[in-house]
Amino acid sequence: MEFYEVIRKRRSVRKYQSKKVPDDILNRILEAGRIAPSAKNIQPWHFIIIRDPEIKNKVARACRGQHFVAEADVIICGCAREKLAWGRMGGYMSSFAVDLAIAMDHIILAAANEGLGTCWIGAFNEKEVKEILRIPEDVRVVALTPIGYPAEQPRDRGRKPLNEIVSYEHY
């Protein structure tokens, strides 16, 4: 697909077919995450690929019971090594969440390009997700996404117009 078409067509998908995502497609999508930029090129990320139905169900429960998450063939859990990431972004913050968000968005857009659905999942209980996936104590969970063939075509949710969100020269 043409790049801008991919961006326009991506939607948060909350219904999935049971159809498998072929490994070569999944690997292309993961590669898109791998090559994402990060502060100082530290790449503080780790992605957990979850296909086991039992683990997927447990993870969906830890995502505030969003059961559709487990419907998809794959769940990706985006983790960050907080202490490894650059700690002085803007002079005041750690880059770990931004680094992970960029890589996850690469993954999400690559999935859209492959005709797959995703949904950024920010509503999760980090402690529960870490227990289920045996994530080390010093590693943070930033986001999850299901990846699978869509069983719905969500409507365009609309966005604020450019003139509300952009200014020139000053705020």
Ligand X SMILES: Cc1cc2nc3c(=O)[nH]c(=O)nc-3n(C[C@H](O)[C@H](O)[C@H](O)COP(=O)(O)O)c2cc1C
- Smallest separation, CB 122 to ligand X (Å): 3
- Smallest separation, CB 113 to ligand X (Å): 16
* Among 104, 136, 133, CA closest to 118: 104
CB-based contacts of 98: which residues, under 8 Å, 6+ apart? 39, 89
Comparing CB distances to ligand X, the nearer of 66 and 95 is 66
- Smallest separation, CB 14 to ligand X (Å): 6
Torsion of CA 86, 87, 89, 93, to 10 degrees: 140
Comparing CB distances to ligand X, the nearer of 11 and 28 is 11
- Smallest separation, CB 72 to ligand X (Å): 12
Which residue's C-beta sits nearest to ligand X?
122
Backbone angles phi and psi of 3, in degrees to 5: -55, -50
Comparing CB distances to ligand X, the nearer of 22 and 123 is 123
- Smallest separation, CB 159 to ligand X (Å): 8
Residues lying near ligand X in the complex (CB under 6 A) are found at 11-12, 14, 66, 119-123, 154, 157
Comparing CB distances to ligand X, the nearer of 136 and 162 is 162
Strands, sheet with 139-148, edge to edge from the N-terminal-most edge strand: 45-50, 74-81, 139-148, 117-118
Comparing CB distances to ligand X, the nearer of 91 and 122 is 122
Burial class of 158 by CB neighbour count within 10 A (0 to 12, 13 to 18, 19+): exposed
